[in-house]
Amino acid sequence: MMKSHLLVSLLLLGGCTQYSIRNIDKPPSERYEIWKKSGVNILGVRKALLECGAIMPSWTVDGAYKKNNIINQNDQMNHSFLTDRCMINAGFIEQNTSWTLKDACADVRYRDYPACKPDAVIPTPSAERRLNSWYCKVKSDYDYCLKHAIAPRLCSPEKTNNPPPECLPPGQEYKSSPAQLEQKSGTEAHVPMKDFPEKSLKLQQDMQRDSGRQMDKLLRNTAPKTGR
């Protein structure tokens, strides 16, 4: 009985972890976290955003808009709406946000934007657009980076020789090692280990063995002492 209660407690603690890490009422920290599509991981979302015309897969900073000659704030919003409509047409849905594109286009401040009109010309996803985007060229072309980056002093041949996976041609995204891809965060991509089945299976087995040993040890230490 004690063993079952202890197991339930551990499962409850484990089950709450994902909710303690991210508050569902808190806005996503990055733009690519808003979008979801069955069978598509974070890397796929980042690629789709760039293929739909996003300046960058994370929230676009003002300096990046200026580098793309989108200075006017209304034009920036309209550009963002067009990207969102492209994502929706590509089968992505908005999540973890209380303000969707539909809400924006119903708002009196934005409903007259060209992107909100029924006859708006919506971009279609394009790998060529992604690879030739300002974001990917800055991260893969050293000379271009020196001329067009927001902070050219941060450019280096080492970085441009190792661009993030979302800036690689189709089929080459997974040539990096799983460890390299796992380390991508923030402005770099994160690729779940499930994309590397052999690594994922070994990791899962190791975790199960460690969990079993820890459970046995915990049960031994908490078991009631019996007299001799």
The pLDDT tens digits for 76-119 are 999 999 999 999 999 999 998 888 999 999 999 999 999 999 99
Q: Which residue would you say has higher pLDDT here, 1 or 35? A: 35
pLDDT score of 194 more than 80: no
Is the Cβ–Cβ distance between 85 and 121 less than 8 Å? no
Report d(CA 128, CA 124) in Å as an integer.
Answer: 11
Q: How far is CA 133 from CA 10, 119, 136, in A?
A: 47, 25, 5
Q: Quote the pTM value.
A: 0.67
Q: What is the pLDDT of residue 29?
A: 78
Q: What's the angle, vertex CA 112, arms to CA 109 and CA 117, rounded to 5?
A: 135
pLDDT score of 153 more than 90: yes
- SS3 assignment, position 81: helix
Phi/psi region, residue 69 (left: phi>0; alpha: psi -120 to 50; beta: rest), is left
Q: Where are the domains of the chain?
A: 30-198
**Residues pairing with 93 in the sheet:** 36
